[in-house]
Amino acid sequence: MTIDHKYQVPTVAVHTDIFERVTRSVARVNGMPKMRQAYVPQPVMGKSPAELRAYIEGNDMVSGRPFMQEVIDGLTTPLDSEGAQGISFDRSTPRLVEPDTEDNLHQLFLDRHWTDTLPIVLPTEARVEAMLRGTSHKPDEVVGHMRPTGFREFWEFTVEKVAVNAVMAGCKPEYLPILLALASTGASARASTTSSAAAMAVVNGPIRHELKMNSGIGAMGPYNHANATIGRAWGLLSQNLQGGSEPGLSYLGSQGNNYAYTSITYAENEERSPWEPLHVQHGFKAEESAVSPFGGCRSTAFTLGIHEKYWQEHVRNLLRGMDPHNSPCYVLDPITARQFVDRGIKTKEALIDWTYENARMPAGEYWSYQLIQNYVYPRATYGEEPYASLLKAKPDELIPMYTRDEIQVVVVGGETNGYWRIMGGGHRGTTSVDKWR
Amino acid sequence: MAQLTVLNPTGYPPKVTAKPMAPRVNTLDGKRVALVDCRFDDSDIFLKEMQGWFEQNLPNVKSEFIQIRNVYTKDDPETWQEIQKGFDAAIIGVGH
């Protein structure tokens, strides 16, 4: 769109056919509904040159016409008035839904993809008003902007809109400041990525106790009202405030992700941790309350304990099982955190340093990972450090899989045993909950 | 049955602003066409095959393979200007 509109060079964009709905939708909401597009079969990835040549010599998967004819016509057929001028229009969002029966409204919310398909609490005016008592902020205050992916447009939302989604998820009013804080970061728990990423939220500070959040036995599971409904509400508000999360249109996760139901939301077990809390690592005081969203949560590696003799080999093995483009977050039961201390890892920073030094792989292997090819290699060739320097390594030279700032450590669990895991997930910042009280 | 009034849970989308497209060329004959690799998955292989198709089927079209300078998620004005100055048309891909 940029080349065609801003730089006025006639352009055809080629996509695989499964993205037809999303590409046409994106073109329309960008004011360019007649953008010329052509479609080949899915996938392109992994196909041989001969197979891709067959795509080119075959038919366009949407129009059914010869693919290259579609491309050539896209560059040479004169534009109609809508193509030449584009289109402008407003999209209003009414505050209220047309009154109806309870059953019909539940069906309407399902039909419009406003839920996670599990039963919701209907956001009546009385319930939303009660929810809004959980914050001192005005209902019409703009909280932030969100979008499901980088090529979509940002949508805007207010305190009231966050409260509506909190009601739907079954939250109590006192949970609202955490949701407002999460929403204010713009971090979506419903990213549309084909990689089926989910999100994670770690809560720190006094609000954990005020809300009776769980940081002990079963904290990451379905056993605590605040953990469960805050995480669910983050997902609902993401899909509704960013402009949707509809499969094939605004959600493209190929396999989907069960973590997305409640977005892995829990409190850090600060009291049983030997280390400083996550929010203190990121500049807050211990007596302040904060929440840290993570994105890109897909993979989990686990083991039991930190073996006295071979612990370094074991942890390296877990790290080597991760995709190097997916930042590691240690999620440690307090038993395990203390075992790390016993092995000489006295602080979270020491574990981060150890990981940076030990999560390594041969350069040739690293650069051949598809996600590294897509997202890191172009940054390296552009000159961005440390990737530009890493690109100079010989194929068998060991290079770090992660930068230090990609590695995080959280302590959670009830000490029924020393099981622990490494979540693949990127830290999206740590933000104040107190400012949204 | 009793009727309920509930609030709409969706956010506020931005106004859609028209974006005029570039006028098309009359023909590709003798024109320079940029085959723009968005550097996602195996797009480069695909576009090099397309370049081969042009050479074989429309040899009067001067197709040239170029890559964006950084990740596709970042704007790339240097490359867009290069295309604007040096080419009559562009084919970008592959989105998938």
* pLDDT digits 0-9 by tens, A351-369: 999 999 999 999 999 999 9
Contacts of A422 (CB under 8 A, 6+ apart): A300, A301, A302, A318, A319, A322, A328, A329, A330, A331
The reply to whether B36 touches chain A by the CB within 8 Å rule is: yes
pLDDT tops 90 at residue A315: yes
Section A251-267 average pLDDT: 97
What is the pLDDT confidence band of residue A24, given thresholds at 50, 70 and 90?
Answer: very high
* pLDDT digits 0-9 by tens, B2-36: 999 999 999 999 999 999 999 999 999 999 999 99
The answer for A327, left when phi > 0, alpha when psi is -120 to 50, beta otherwise, is beta
The reply to whether B85 touches chain A by the CB within 8 Å rule is: no
Section B67-88 average pLDDT: 93
| Cβ contact A240–B21 (<8 Å) | no
Q: Which two tokens stand for residue A38?
A: 């052509």
Instruction: Give the pLDDT score at A89.
Output: 94
Instruction: Give the pLDDT score at B74.
Output: 87
A contacts of B17 (beta carbons < 8 Å): 31, 86, 88
Helix axes A159-169, A176-184, angle to 10 degrees: 120
pLDDT tops 90 at residue B96: no
Instruction: Give the pLDDT score at A151.
Output: 86
The whole-angstrom separation of Cα A150 and Cα B39 is 16
Instruction: Give the pLDDT score at A242.
Output: 98
The answer for A263, left when phi > 0, alpha when psi is -120 to 50, beta otherwise, is left
What is the pLDDT confidence band of residue B41, given thresholds at 50, 70 and 90?
Answer: confident
CB of A425 closer than 8 Å to CB of A300: no
Beta strand extents in A190-245 (DSSP E only): 198-204
Instruction: Give the pLDDT score at A237.
Output: 98
- Which of A3, A103, A164, A368 should one mutate to test binding to chain B, selecting the residue with the greatest count of B CBs within 10 A? A3
| Cβ contact A160–B88 (<8 Å) | no
| Cβ contact B11–A243 (<8 Å) | yes
**% of chain A with per-residue pLDDT over 90:** 98
Instruction: Give the pLDDT score at A321.
Output: 92
* pLDDT digits 0-9 by tens, A47-63: 999 999 999 999 999 99
> Does residue B33 or residue A92 have the better pLDDT?
B33
Section A179-207 average pLDDT: 97
Instruction: Out of A241-245, B15-19, B25-29, B67-71, pick the least confident.
Output: B67-71
**Closest Cβ opposite residue B27 in set A18, A76, A241:** A76
**Cβ neighbours around A383 below 10 Å, total:** 11
The whole-angstrom separation of Cα A70 and Cα A139 is 50
Instruction: Give the pLDDT score at A406.
Output: 96
Residues in chain A, overall count: 437
Query: What's the start-to-end Cα distance of chain B, in Å?
Result: 48
